[in-house]
Amino acid sequence: MAPIQPGGNEVVLAGKRVLVTGGAGFLGAPVCERLEARGAAEVIVPRKAECDLTDAQQVASLFAETRPAIVLHLAAEVGGIGANRDNPGRFFYANMAMGLHMVEEARRQGVEKFVQVGTVCSYPKFTPVPFSEASLWDGYPEETNAPYGVAKKALLVMLDAYRDQYGMRGIFLMPTNLYGPRDNFDPESSHVIPALIRKCEEARVAGDPSITCWGTGSASREFLYVDDCAEAIVAATERYDSPEPVNIGVGQEITIRSLVELIAEVTGFEGAIEWDTTKPDGQPRRVLDTTRAAAEIGFDATTSFTEGLRSTVEWYREHQATLDAIAPR
């Protein structure tokens, strides 16, 4: 995508102070790299150890000290099906509290633009495929991740209300499932792709005859390479200014069974794949309608799924010793 020119509702990042919560994380790091490449005067990344975003006073102090012109709120408490099932209260509170304080303080400080990164988990459990933004309110989310999804979706309502009452420019983006280098490979909290990469790689190295995966394998998911998502977020920061949410994805789905087979192939695991059908599948199908992202911000993902998986596996192998030390098997 070509650099934008000043004019209309577009935001020029060059010379601006940009606050990015979660900026040191899996998605945040490539977002910050792109902000710096766009010429941002300073990219401010608060660390959790120094600023608890669930605390209103600490958020107020953060804004007072940094005085950002633009805010990208990426920070979240998040995990896979198991982590969501085990921590519904914590996930709801943390995500709701962080967003609540960040949006309110951005309003108080008169920031030029606020970008909220939401989640595909906000969609109803039985949303018609592909998921269109117009279907967001047509039912309740899948139960295992509903507290997380509802907390995020509430921030869409908050931003809409603040736009109406205060004229605050806030946008809401809904990325599909992400994957790529620097992902979370902790077996207790990781999402499906890093969890399967770790499972297949450990089984290959150990010479195990089989691996066991959750569910039936019939559910489908869509996956977006993290660098592509980072580009979409920065492009939307520059170009998009509407209360309507925007899906960020690739518009293609794969069943979990096919995903496991592909990851086994990429990692070189040749054993049997068994299924524990006592475990949940999660939402039956998940794939996004990306028409709005293409029309409004000119976004189209460029990384092929196999290429992205190979890069992710290579990164995991390079960092496996460090990751094992942090989160032993």
* 57, part of any domain: yes
What value, to the nearest 5°, has the Cα angle with vertex 199 and ends 194 and 200?
100
**Would you tell me how many other CB atoms lie within 10 Å of the CB of residue 276?**
10
Whether residue 28 lies inside any domain: the answer is yes
Residue 4: per-residue pLDDT:
41
How do residues 133-183 score in pLDDT, each as one tens digit? 999 999 999 998 899 999 999 999 999 999 999 999 999 999 999 999 999
CB burial of residue 42 (10 Å; 0-12, 13-18, 19+): middle
Query: Hey, CA dihedral for 118, 232, 22, 115, is it positive or negative?
Result: negative
Domain that holds residue 46: 17-182+224-249+281-303
Return the number of other C-beta atoms located less than 10 Å from residue 184's C-beta.
Answer: 19
**Structural domain includes residue 60:** yes
- Residue 328, pLDDT > 70, answer no
pLDDT at 326: 60
CATH code for position 82:
3.40.50.720
Average pLDDT, the chain: 93
Domain count, the chain: 1
Active site residues: 148
Band the pLDDT of 5: cuts 50, 70, 90: very low
Spatial separation of the C-alpha atoms in residues 203 and 47, rounded to whole Å: 35
Asked whether residue 118 is domain-assigned, the answer is yes
pLDDT at 299 over 90: yes
Q: Is 83 a domain residue?
A: yes
Residues 251-295 pLDDT 10s: 999 999 999 999 999 999 999 999 999 998 887 888 999 999 999
Q: Is residue 214 part of a domain?
A: no
Residue 327 has what pLDDT?
54
User: Mean pLDDT, to the nearest integer, of 232-236?
Assistant: 98
| Residue 211, domain member (yes or no) | no
Does 259 fall in a domain? no
Q: 175-216 pLDDT, tens per residue?
A: 999 999 999 999 887 889 999 999 999 999 999 999 999 999
- Ramachandran class of 7: left when φ > 0, alpha when ψ lies in -120 to 50, beta otherwise: left
